Amino acid sequence: MGGEIHEYTELLENTRRQALDRMIQNATLMGANAVVSMRFDSSEIGSTMSEIVAYGTAVIVVPDTTASPVAE
């Protein structure tokens, strides 16, 4: 009884990847080069469907030219 349903796990992994790709594409269209505070959210729609959303804050990251180099 029980156990993992591999096809369903693969479907959810693909859906998370699509949500992440869409988030990155939207951030890029806004001129961002990074996303911070990224999260996934999921919910059930009815008894047979799930929704997965990726969201975060699109930002522009620039090097700090005034910072001292880090010693290795």
| 72: in domain | no
**Residue 65 within any structural domain of the chain:** no
Q: Is residue 50 part of a domain?
A: yes
**pLDDT (0 to 100) of residue 59:** 98
Write down the pLDDT at residue 2. Answer: 79
Domain enclosing residue 23, as ranges: 6-59
- Domain membership flag for residue 66: no
Structural domain count, the chain: 1
pLDDT digits (tens, 9 = 90+) for 9-60: 899 899 999 999 999 999 999 999 999 999 999 999 888 888 999 999 999 9
Q: Is 69 contained in some domain?
A: no
Statement: residue 1 has pLDDT above 90: no
**CB of 38 within 8 A of CB of 59?**
no
- In DSSP notation, 31-72 reads T-SEEEEEEEEEEEETTTEEEEEEEEEEE-----TTSPPPP-
